[in-house]
């Protein structure tokens, strides 16, 4: 997807990219340069939700048996 830079250095982020990242008017974005020199656009104002594995990090909690832990791991709850 290509876009044109205006005289003020502004660009329009393509709708497919805005939809993918959940960018709406007022959203903050961040541009980061990677090791290979390319630039990556990310949402800067939104915390990424914890994965189901990050939610289990630490301990399983009191009262969970093996079946309940496995169901959580598989995303069945």
Provide the residue ranges of all domains of the chain, joining segments of one domain with +: 1-46, 48-77
CA–chain centroid gap for 53, Å, is 16
- 17: which residues sit within 8 A by CB, 6+ positions away? 1, 23, 41
* pLDDT higher than threshold 70 for residue 15: yes
Q: What is the 3-state secondary structure (H, E, C) of 3-71?
A: CCCCCCCCCCCCHHHHHHHCCCCCCCEEEEECCCCCEEEEECCCCCCCCHHHHHCCCCCCCCCHHHHHH
Model pTM?
0.53
21-74 pLDDT, tens digit per residue, is 888 888 899 999 999 999 999 888 876 666 667 767 776 557 778 888 888 889
Dihedrals phi, psi of 67, to nearest 5 degrees: -60, -40
Pick the CATH number of 1-46 from 3.40.50.920, 3.20.20.70, 2.10.260.10, 3.40.50.970: 2.10.260.10
């Amino acid at each position: 997807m290509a876009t044109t830079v205006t005289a003020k250095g502004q660009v329009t982020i393509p709708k497919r990219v805005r939809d993918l990242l959940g960018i709406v008017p007022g959203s903050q974005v961040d541009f980061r340069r990677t090791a290979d020199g390319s630039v990556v656009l990310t949402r800067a104002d939104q915390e990424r939700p914890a994965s189901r594995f990050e939610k289990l990090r630490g301990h399983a909690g009191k009262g969970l048996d093996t079946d309940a832990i496995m169901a959580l791991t598989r995303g069945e709850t």
